[in-house]
Chain A
Amino acid sequence: MIEIALRMLSGDRTKYLGLVSGIAFATLLISQQASIFVSLMIRTANQVLDVREVDLWVMDPRVRYVDEVEALRDVDLGRIRGVDGVEWAVPFYKGTAILRTREGLINQVFLVGVDDASLVGAPHQWVKGDLSALRRPNGIVLDLQGAQFIWPGEDVPLGRSAEINDVRVELTGIADVSPTFITWPIAYMKYSDAVRLLPPQRNVLSYVVVKAASGTDPAELAARIAARTGLQALTWDAFAWRSVEYVLTRTGIPVNFGITVMLGILVGAAVTAQTFYLFVFENLRQFGALKAIGATNRQILGMVLAQAAVVGALGYGIGLGLCAIFFEVTSGSAALEGFRLVPQVVAATGGVIALILVLSCLFSVRRVFVVDPAIVFRG
């Protein structure tokens, strides 16, 4: 019966293609928009995720996400180091600054200051230079996309000078780092150099990043640090999620993407259900004849499910393929850097498409179930 079902399906080429196209379109829309959304959310946490050496981030209790910095007092670093279970704790500066090129171009940049001694928080993948670039006096390391944004259309050489907050700095390295939610260039410096460039202010310590001693549970240590210091201490993954949740709850971005994803689901469901219904409706006499001849409702359901499975698999495959091509083609774009087809989205889209198909089947097959086999005797 399955073979008969598939022959019936391929025999009606127009509806076959319509069904496959509908599923492919829905898959493309859902997987592409959801992947962009997830990739964008990951960007909000990238500055946390890129600091791979640490277990905990300690910050002012008012901080709600990574870009919202309330400076700590310098003495807090010593207090944190004094908590049992802390292997080491180092300062980490994060703020914004104005970078002016010698050509007079002005760019807003993220300024990141990493611990002078350990260089914890420095980039891991280098395009030009290496870790020693950060040890040079007033040396800055720019992210690759940022360097190309500041000096477009050229292979930026090391040694190029610029000014940050009117202080001369020298480009000593270019690194490949994960893009941030706001795509400003990221300038890395030693902590001591970074804070020297800042306008006079009482406190400059953005975060203290902490490594837990061997055998110490990071979550327990975070609770201990919070209890001892009154500061907010979060494991790296909790802080990353906190940053994602801030964007989810405080911006309209999820609503916008959610609407598009919902449209994809609705359009896909509508096209699929309608086409499937038409396909079944137009074959109602054939199904009626099969029932008269002796096919059971279960066999008919199996036939319709087999037809749905084939158009679903084809449409889903084509849609995912188109989505993968989109991300491959746009992989060189700075604006879409790091955007990719997320495996979890692939699985979730498959689930949604399967649900659409099952509902479409049930919606359509109802007619066959209730059709009187005697329909075939009526002219």
Chain B
Amino acid sequence: MIAASARNVVMEFEGGGGRTRVLHGASIEVPAGGLTLLVGPSGCGKTTLLSVLSGTLAATSGEVEVMGERLSDLDDAARVRLRRRRIGFIFQQYNLLPSLTVAENAAIPLVTAGMKLSEASRRAQPVLERLGMAAHLDKLPRQLSGGQQQRVAIARALVHEPALVVCDEPTAALDAKTGHTVMELLRAVAAAPGRAVLVVTHDSRIHEFADRIVEMEDGRVLGERILHRPEAN
């Protein structure tokens, strides 16, 4: 099953006195039940392709599908609903809200869906406990290490049980050991039935965690390597 796919995606931005083309007909498939790494040099368009695949950026042309829904057929409100229900986000800078506790931060996707913060926080606790954050539920982000903050971000991405988890450089701000731990967690996340994890990275130390590695250069997908074949679920 394909969780997300992009076919011949072109992405152009206005600015600098003209239009800049960042993606030149990029195509990718992200299968469910595995961890896909999107790799390539800085500026090759990895993050832009990730943004297009997650529905946070609308492609200039080309076809993008997430969980069987064609994004070009959806209006803004429907894309927001899709992101809210089906996609989990993990950012390089974590983007935790500094005045919310660990449990409250992890609960945000449930709150955006209309749940009360207190109830959503209770629902987020088991997820945090599975990620080893049981002792830190009431702490603020500034009281945590970088690795712990990234675990909270992972919990936030999983709390609403999305089918697709997108991660932008999740280990870039972490030391090697913590990065290793975070990737192990993401690998475990990807093992869940029907779930796909797409990780953008230029950190070659984490290639060992991937099921598939998709390489990009100059706004194009060059090819892919399959390292582990996902087990049929």
Contacts and interface: CB of A to CB of B under 8 A. Distances in A.
Nearest to B157: A293
Given A372-B57, A373-B56, A376-B91, A290 B99 contact: no
Interface stretch (B28-36, B81-89, B185-193, B216-224): B81-89
B47 A4 contact: no
Interface string A351-379: 00000000000000000000011101111
A379 to B, nearest CB: 6
B47 A292 contact: no
A8 B97 contact: yes
Interface string A81-105: 0000000000000000000000000
Interface residues of B, number: 34
B98 to A, nearest CB: 6
A148 interface: no
B81 A294 contact: yes
Contacts of A288: 95
A314 interface: no
A242 to B, nearest CB: 58
Contacts of A374: 47-48, 51, 56-57
B65 interface: no
A12 to B, nearest CB: 8
Nearest to B153: A289
A4 B92 CA distance: 22
A114 B94 CA distance: 82
Contacts, number: 84
A1 B98 contact: no
B95 A376 contact: yes
Contact of B109 (A7, A291, A293, A377): A293
B227 interface: no
Contacts of A1: 111-112
A196 to B, nearest CB: 79
Given A372-B56, A372-B57, A374-B56, A292 B89 contact: yes
B80 interface: yes
B110 to A, nearest CB: 10
Given A374-B56, A374-B57, A294 B91 contact: no
Contact of A289 (B85, B95, B111, B117): B95
Contacts of B47: 374, 377-378
A290 B105 CA distance: 11
Contacts of A292: 54, 56, 83, 89
Interface string B59-92: 0000000000000000001001101110001011
B121 to A, nearest CB: 10
A377 B168 contact: yes
B44 interface: no
Contacts of A8: 97, 99
Contacts of A152: none
B112 A377 contact: no
B216 to A, nearest CB: 15
Interface string B34-52: 0000000000000110110
A231 to B, nearest CB: 72
A289 B91 contact: yes
A247 B15 CA distance: 59
A374 to B, nearest CB: 4
Given A4-B108, A4-B111, A11-B98, A377 B83 contact: no
Interface in A4-39: 4, 7-8, 10-12
Secondary structure call for the A interface: helix
B100 A4 contact: yes
A355 to B, nearest CB: 28
Given A373-B56, A377-B56, A286 B112 contact: no
B113 interface: yes
A286 B97 contact: yes
Interface in A282-300: 285-286, 288-296, 299
A294 B97 contact: no
Q: Which of A7, A10, A292 has the most CB of B within 10 A?
A: A292
Contacts of B80: 291, 294-296
Q: Which of A4, A10, A293, A373 has the most CB of B within 10 A?
A: A293
Interface of A: 1, 3-4, 7-8, 10-12, 285-286, 288-296, 299, 372-374, 376-379
23 contacts: A1-B112, A3-B116, A3-B117, A4-B97, A4-B108, A4-B111, A4-B117, A7-B97, A7-B99, A11-B99, A12-B99, A290-B112, A291-B56, A292-B83, A293-B83, A293-B84, A294-B83, A294-B109, A294-B113, A295-B80, A374-B47, A374-B48, A374-B57
